[in-house]
Amino acid sequence: MNLVTQLNDIAVALKQEFPFILHILAIVWCVQLVNVGVGNRLKLLGILPRTLIGIPGILLSSFIHGDWNHLFTNSLFFVAMGSMVIINGKKLFYTVSLSIILISGSMVWLCGRRAWHVGASSLIMGYWSFLMTRAYFNPNLVDLISAGLGVYYCGIHLTASLMANGPGVSEEGHISGFIAGIVTAVYYESIAYQLSGWVALVL
């Protein structure tokens, strides 16, 4: 398969799958509207480390944001990184997303500071590290382009995010997401097998 054909396949896949990324984003924005309507109480569905009430947040926290600025910033990078993941197909996208959410959320629940952790930053960091790790171990054109664009357009911001700290910033989430993306890339086949039942439910 020549270079032009491969690039055309990437463009076709992106055109086909991009609306799905926007649909997910629309859901997250609707969640924020509800959150504002209830006085930001949806943060109680986030991760509160080492508590029973915080366990549902392992799955739900990525859909909840602290404020509009938090959501807007994450939206831009979710569209960028999510699009690069989904051009490999919806099955891979679902598997990678679920794996990163579960691994990073569990790490935050086990090791995070005692505070409510919400936001899609860990998922986005996971996408980024997944793409870079996959490109390193499996240097095909799609993954190399995806990783390259991710580094070029998002690398500086995401690296700064990885090292960010301070009030209202979950550096544990950023670091956990980054690690989760690497683990997902290295053990993708095994993880895909383990999550196959869950992924089948949404396909």
What pLDDT, in 10s, does the model give residues 45-55?
999 999 999 99
Average pLDDT (105-125) is 93
Cα–Cα distances (Å) from 194 to 26, 94, 129, 199, 200, in that order, read 29, 13, 21, 10, 11
Mean predicted lDDT score pLDDT of the chain: 87
Which distant-in-sequence residues (6+ apart) come within 8 Å of 78 by Cβ?
Answer: 21, 24, 25, 28, 120, 123, 124
* Residue corresponding to tokens 């480390």: 49
Distance in angstroms (rounded) separating the CA atoms of residues 24 and 18 = 10
Tokens of 79: 């569209």
Q: What pLDDT was estimated at residue 152?
A: 64
Band (158; pLDDT cuts 50, 70, 90): low
Q: For residues 74 and 84, is the Cβ–Cβ distance under 8 A? A: no
* Residue 47 in tokens: 């991760």
pLDDT at 202: 76
Dihedral sign of CA atoms 10, 63, 202, 185 in order: positive
For the chain, the straight-line distance linking the first and the last C-alpha, in angstroms and rounded, comes to 29
Between residues 201 and 33, the one the model is more confident about: 33
- What pLDDT shows up at residue 199? 82
